[in-house]
Each structure stands twice: as C-alpha cells, then as structure tokens.
Amino acid sequence: METVRAPATSANLGSGFDVFGVALDRPADIIRVKRADETTIEVTGVGSQYIPEDPHSNVVGAVAEALNAPAQIQIDKGVRPSSGLGSSAASAAAAAVALNGLYDRGLSRTELIPIAAEGEAIVSGEAHVDNVAPALLGGFTIARDNTVTTVNADIPLVACLPEIAVSTRDARRVVPDSITMEEAVHTVGSAATLTVGMCQNNPTLVGSGMDEHVVTPARAELVTGYDTVREAALTAGATGVTVSGAGPAILAVCHTQKRRAVAAAMIDAFETVGVEARAYQTCVSAGATLF
Ligand code: HSE
C-alpha cells in the first residue's frame, strides 16, 4: 500500500503560457494504492461526482496502464475539477508516484512527467506538462519543449476559486492563433522578469512579470467578474494578478503581510458580481509527497 499527497498547481502565470507552473501548498489530492489483478478506482472529495471511476476514462487509470501497474486506487480529491488549479494533474502526479513506488518501477520524478501528462491528456485532450511538472517536482517549473527546469521559490500567493466551471478545452479555444512582434517582445520581457523574481524570492518582480496581453485577456472573458476581482486584489496590495491555468481560479501574488487582505478582497469582489468564491492563502511549495 502506498499513500501520496500531490499539490494543486497554477500554470501559465500570465507570461508563461504552456511553459510556467508552480506547485501550491494547498489544496491537494491524496491517493492510496494497493496491488490488484486489475485496476479499480474510487473517487471521494471535492467534485468527485464529476469524475469517472471507469479506469479507461480517468487520468489515474491511464497512469496505471502506462506503468503496467494494476491497483485498487482510492482518490480523495482536494483540488476541484475544472478549477484552473491542476486538478487532473494532481491526481495523475499522485498516481504516478504511488504506483511507481508500489511496483518498484524505479523511475525518477522527471521520468514520471510524460507518464502523468499522458494521463492528463484524457481530460484536456492534449498533454501539457506545465501542471504535472510542478505537481511532481515542486517549486516553479519552466517546461520548454521536452525539458523541464525547476527553481525552488518562496513566494506568497492567493488562489481564489469561484463557484463557476471552465473546461480546459473551452479555454484553449479562445486563445488567439497568432501574436504581433510587439506582444511577443512584451511577453518575453515579462517572462524574464518573473523568472528573476522567482530566483530572488521577490513577489514584486513575480507579480509584475505576470503581465501579458494575449492569452490572459481572452481567457478573462470566461471568468465572471475577472476585472473587478483583479482590481480589488491590486488595491488590497497584490503585486500581480492573472488567470490561473485555464481558469476560473484567479491567482494573485503578494507579500506575506498582505495575503489575508488580498484573499478577503477577492472573495468580496466576487460577491459583488453574484459569484460565491473561496480563497486559498498559499505559497509555492513542494511536489508530490509519499507518506
Ligand atoms: N497551460 C495549459 C492551459 C494548462 O492553460 O491551457 C492546462 O493544462
């Protein structure tokens, strides 16, 4: 029997579409696996009613198949599906680590990335490593082609999750096909600024480096109240705000002493547009952990 906790993650961080990701210290999924002749899956926890238990339709079933590791698998969801907080990646990463341990496969965390990403493709239609990489490795991750670079960072964050759902498939349809040279130059400048901020544990640089004018505005349209919540977070002291992954969660960066106020301001702002929300006061954290 193996038990693994894998964290929520936030991908893109504005300027790093399909490249940047961070592990969050909360929320998280917990997975328990036991050897069995064939894979069975039981799902409990947040949003479990929306998650198929058929191993052929579940990210975790795909991971078990890829590792040739049939098991009785219990998933306790802490990361809500369709949240923009890497829900399927958390389950896929947890399963990859747990089954790798259960069957002594001996694969490294880096070797587990493509296996967990294939599982995630079942849900999103495409394999993206920008959520599974931080869920497995922790920290701030940069996924470029087939290579992932990791930086351990200590940055306070607020992830505010409204009671609306946005599917990754829908959020990818609204992404523009092309960008201008001016936009590309701005995005590269932001991404570089953000990366330096992560290396220096500097929330001001990280927040400023999230600024991006192509993908984020298109996706913000899918999140009721985005502009109102963004303004409220900035007024409360956030150094930067963006859509978390495919949304609808909104991610704010701030200094530690402002985190509580930023979280409260974001919840209140969602309330003014008639949307219930909860906020996780969190930070960049470790990846999947074996108990
Ligand atoms: N980078 C992806 C997106 C993350 O934003 O669409 C979802 O897996």
Atom of ligand 1 nearest to the CA of 171: 6
pLDDT band at 127 (very low <50, low <70, confident <90, very high): confident
CA dihedral 84, 88, 93, 95 (to 10 degrees): 160
- Round the average pLDDT of the chain to a whole number and report it: 96
Kindly tell me the burial class for residue 245, based on how many C-beta atoms sit within 10 Å of its own C-beta (0-12, 13-18, 19 or more).
Answer: buried
pLDDT digits (tens, 9 = 90+) for 259-281: 999 999 999 999 999 999 999 99
Task: Note the pTM of the prediction, 2 decimals.
Answer: 0.96
Q: Which domains does the chain have, with CATH numbers?
A: 2-150 (3.30.230.10), 153-283 (3.30.70.890)
Mutate which of 9, 10, 12 to test ligand 1's pocket (most atoms within 8 Å of Cβ)?
12
Atom of ligand 1 nearest to the CA of 131: 8
d(CA 66, CA 114): 10
For residue 168, pLDDT beyond 90: no
Eight-state DSSP code of residue 256: G
Angle between the N-to-C axes of helices 129-137 and 109-124, in degrees from 0 to 180, rounded to the nearest 10: 140
pLDDT digits (tens, 9 = 90+) for 222-249: 999 999 999 999 999 999 999 999 999 9
CB of 11 within 6 A of ligand 1: the answer is: yes
**Spatial CB neighbours of 119, under 8 Å, sequence gap ≥ 6:** 59, 60, 61, 62, 63, 66, 88, 91, 92, 95, 96
- Among protein residues, the one with the nearest Cα to ligand 1's atom 2 is 18
Query: What's the whole-number mean pLDDT along residues 117-143?
Result: 88
168 is catalytic: yes
**Which strands sit side by side in the sheet containing 240-243, from one edge to the other?**
240-243, 250-253, 156-162, 277-283
Report which residue type is found at 138: G
Q: Any binding-site annotation on 106?
A: no
pLDDT band at 146 (very low <50, low <70, confident <90, very high): confident
Catalytic residue among 2, 118, 120, 212: 120
pLDDT digits (tens, 9 = 90+) for 185-219: 999 999 999 999 999 999 999 999 999 999 999 99
CB of 245 within 6 A of ligand 1: the answer is: yes
CB of 12 within 6 A of ligand 1: the answer is: yes
pLDDT value, residue 281: 98
CB of 131 within 6 A of ligand 1: the answer is: yes
d(CA 89, CA 121): 10
d(CA 41, CA 48): 12
pLDDT band at 123 (very low <50, low <70, confident <90, very high): low
